[in-house]
Amino acid sequence: MERRSKIIIIVCVIVAIGIFGYSQYLSATNLSISILESKIIQRGENNSLYNMTLQFQNPSLLPINIGQTDFVISINNENLGTGTLQPLVIPPMAKISSQTPFTADNTILDKYNKSSNVPNIKLTGTSKYRISIISVNVPFTYYPTEREAREFIHGS
C-alpha cells in the first residue's frame, strides 16, 4: 500500500507540473506586443540604428519569463533588419516596456521614407521561454498600426 501511495503522489506532481507548463505556454501565446516608440539614434551610410521601445502585455494570471527574443522587421515582405530583445519577466495582468536596438537597411528604409503611402510593416520573431527545466520557442507576428508604421519609417 505504501508503494502505491508514492506512485500516486509522483503521478499527481507530474500532472501538476504539466498543467502549469501548459498554462504558461497558453499565456505566452496570448502575449500582446506593440511598438511604443522608435527613434533613429545614428544614421550611417548603409544602416540606421534605431532605439525601439516595445511593450508587452501579459493577459494571464501567471508571470511570464521571456528569454532572449530574436525579431525581424519587414516592409512589404522585404527584410528591413533584425534585432534582439534581452530576457525579461512580465508580471501577471501587467504591461512592461523594454528598449532594444534595431539596425535597419537604409536602402529599403529610404525607398519607403519617400512614399506618401504607409507600407505594410510586420514584426516577426521567436521568443524563447524557460519554464522550469523546459525551454519552449513561441513564434509571434505583430502588425503595427498605421500611426506606428508611419512613425517607425520616419524615425520619430
- Beta pairing class for 78-85 and 32-43: unpaired
Give dist(CA 42, CA 121) in Å, integer: 21
**In residues, how long is the chain?**
156
Q: Which residues pair with 89 in a beta bridge?
A: 65
Domains of the chain, start order = 2-154 (2.60.40.10)
pTM for the model stands at: 0.70
Q: Along the 156 residues of the chain, how does pLDDT read in single tens digits?
A: 588 888 888 888 888 877 776 776 666 666 778 888 888 888 889 998 888 888 888 887 777 777 788 889 898 888 888 888 888 888 888 999 999 898 989 888 888 777 667 678 888 888 776 656 667 777 778 888 877 777 777 665
